[in-house]
Amino acid sequence: MNKLVTSVSELEAHVGKTPGPMKLKVIDHLDNGALQWIAASPIAFVSFADQSAIDLTLGGGRAGFAIGDSKTLRLPKSALDRPELAHPGKQVGSVFLIPSIREVLRVNGIVDAVTDEEIIVTVKECYGHCGKSLIRSEFWFAQPSSESPADIKSFSDTCRFMALASIDDKGYADVSPKGDPAGSMAFLDNDILWFADRPGNKRTDSFRNIITQPKVAALLMIPGSSYVVHVSGIAQITTDETERERFSVQNKVPKVAICIKNITIEMSESPALNRANLWPAEAAPDNINPGKLFLDHLKLNKNIGVKVIGAALSSVSGLVQKGLEDDYKKNLY
C-alpha cells in the first residue's frame, strides 16, 4: 500500500475542508431537543477513551434507557454490553439512534463518576449528524434474523453498517457512523480490515483523528442481526487507486480508503441489540424533527455572533429542509 495521507492538509486536498456551518451546529449541553431524542432512543454506540487507548460498546434497552439533563448524560451499567470500559476521567463519544429516523445524535463528554448502577457523563459536545450512513445501509428496512453468522470474514464481507471510534491528540473521543450496501462496507484481508470514506456531513473528525492518533475501535453490524464484530487496531488513510476502486458503488469511487492494521477482532452476540429489539423498525416518534434540532443548535451556539448566526441560518435552513432530502438523493456516493 502506498499514497498514505499523513497530514490534515493532504486530507483536505482530497475530501475538502469542513464547511463553516457544520462547526456551528455543535452545542456544549443537552437542549430540550437532544433530551427528547435520547428519551426516544433504544440504542447507542458508546466509546471510552484516553490518550493511550480507545474501545467501543453498545448500550440498549427500551426507549429512554439513557437519561440526562442539560449537562449530564446517565448510562445504566446494565444497559451496556461492556460497562467495565468506563472509568472516571475517560473521554466519551456516543451516537444515539431512533427507529425509522435516518439522522443520529452525537453526544461527547467525560466520565465524571461510575457508581454500582450507572455511568455519569459530563456533556461537552452535542450535535445532529446526517442520515446518509443509515440510508446507504438500509438500516431501518431490515427484518430480524436469528441466523448465526458462519464466521467473522463472511460477516464482515456482508456487513452494511459500522460505528468507528477514534481519538484526537488530546484523547477526546468521537464515534462516527458508516454505512454501505452489503459487499461494499468492509473487506477483511487476512489481518487487515478495509473500509472507505463516503460523502457525509464533511466534518471528517475521525479521519483527522487518525492522522494524529491512529488507534481506533469499530463495531460492524448486519442490520437485522443481533451479532456484531468488534475490531480494534491502528488505522491508516490512503488514496491508492486500487484500494479505492474496489469500494466503487454506482460507478463512484471514494476519495480515500482506510485500513485498520494489527487488529484484534472477535464476533459476539450483543445483549444490548437483543434488548433494543430494533427490527422491524417502529414508526418514527411524532415529536422528533431532525431539521428543527439542527437549526435549534445553530441558534443556541454560544461561540458565534448574531451576524454569523443569521448568515448560517439563511444558508443552512434550506439544506435541513428540502435541501437535505436533495442531498440524500444526489450525494450518497
Q: How confident is the model at residue 21 (pLDDT cuts 50, 70, 90)?
A: low
Which single residue is written with the C-alpha cell 457508581?
A: 115
Residue 311 sits in a domain whose CATH number is 2.30.110.10
Lowest mean pLDDT among 95-104, 130-139, 204-213: 204-213
Query: Structural domain tally of the chain?
Result: 1
Beta-sheet pairing, 72-76 with 67-68: antiparallel
The 10s digit of each residue's pLDDT in 226-278 is 999 999 999 999 999 999 999 999 889 999 999 999 999 999 999 999 999 99
pLDDT (average), residues 98-102? 97
Of 82, 53, 95, 85, nearest to 217 (Cα)?
53
Is 242 part of a structural domain of the chain? yes
Residue numbers of the domain that contains 22 = 8-330
Is 273 part of a structural domain of the chain? yes
Give the dihedral of Cα atoms 300, 209, 66, 146; nearest 10 deg: 130
Is 3 part of a structural domain of the chain? no
Is 1 part of a structural domain of the chain? no
Is 2 part of a structural domain of the chain? no
Is 231 part of a structural domain of the chain? yes
Question: Roughly what angle, to the nearest 10 degrees, separates helices 32-40 and 290-300?
Answer: 150
* pTM strictly above 0.75: yes
- Is 66 exposed, middle or buried, given 0-12, 13-18 or 19+ CB atoms closer than 10 A? buried
Lowest mean pLDDT among 108-117, 146-155, 192-201: 192-201
